[in-house]
Amino acid sequence: MTKKITSILYLLLIFIFIFFLGKYYFSDENIRIINKSRSNFSLNKKSSEYMVPILENDTNDIITFITETEKFIIKRKKRPWEKVISN
């Protein structure tokens, strides 16, 4: 009997929590706060775009690309019979 009462109480608490959460989330006050925050963020973003300095590209010829086959050739062990075959 007590298990049924506790499970009903837990279910009731979960439903009450979901109800109040939805009530707050869809309230006009919360929607106004969210819209105000979004507009402030977009204004700050637009104003900060103009303050970013443009940097000169200094990364020419820094990265050397090695293909997967070159990596495999470098890592693998040399076997003695390869010398005989290559000659």
Confidence of residue 22 (pLDDT cuts 50, 70, 90): very high
Indicate the average pLDDT of the chain: 83
Task: Identify the residue with better confidence: 36 or 85.
Answer: 36
Write the DSSP assignment of 45-65 as a string of letters: HHHHHTTSPPPPP--TT----
pLDDT at residue 51 greater than cutoff 80: no
Per DSSP, the chain holds a count of helices (H) and strands (E) of 4, 0
Length of the chain in terms of residues written: 87
Residue that the structure tokens 């019979």 belong to:
81
* pLDDT at 69 (0 to 100): 75
37, pLDDT greater than 80: yes
